[in-house]
Homo-oligomer: A and B are copies of this chain.
Amino acid sequence: MQLPVLHIEYPAWVASHVDWDRPYRTDEDRMRLAIEMSRQNVVTGTGGPFGAAIFERASGKLVSVGMNSVVRYNNSTLHGEMMAFMMAQARLGSFTLRAKDGPEHELFTSCDPCAMCLGATLWSGVTRAVCGADREDAFRLHFEEGPVFPESLQYLRKRGIEIVAGFLREEANAVLELYRQNKGVIYNG
């Protein structure tokens, strides 16, 4: 049998829509990039309305972006956060973003992570996760978040991960609404 091989890269618009050199100094700067990834994904038709980005916490250096790529790659695991984790680790050549003597990293995501992405957040090594739209916003589009409970977030917090919810929620949610108006595919309906 011909064994399958995965080849995963960013959609072409990333080259022209992401500034890798500027520092993203504030939480607003960082979240707006995550939201912009979600918006471009919708506008360009490359995936669901979910974007993410990973930064060095102290410097604001951008390490990776992510965007939902489930339909583009026929791959149900490729949520925006997963793309961001995989790309960040590929770029750094490390399976953890919490390397000894290395800088701390943080995730910005345009919507609350689903159960899969919340688990992946724990394994990724980020020490902070900032979320925009919430699970009810996603659910209004019939996107489901899976088994995430208050204890799930508490579990991550006990492992030293700071979690911030509802940050720039309205801006993030506007992209979900845009996707709904465009009648985008609901792949986990």
Contacts and interface: CB of A to CB of B under 8 A. Distances in A.
Interface in A59-89: 64, 70-71, 73-77, 82, 85-87, 89
A141 interface: no
Given A82-B77, A116-B123, A4 B87 contact: yes
A93 interface: yes
Contacts of A115: 115-116, 118-119, 122, 152
**Size bracket, chain A contacts:** 35 or more
Interface string A112-128: 00111111101111000
Nearest to A122: B146
Copies in the complex: 2
Contacts of A91: 4
A118 B116 CA distance: 7
A15 interface: yes
A8 interface: yes
Contacts of A3: 9-10, 14-15
Contacts of A94: 74
A86 to B, nearest CB: 6
A126 to B, nearest CB: 10
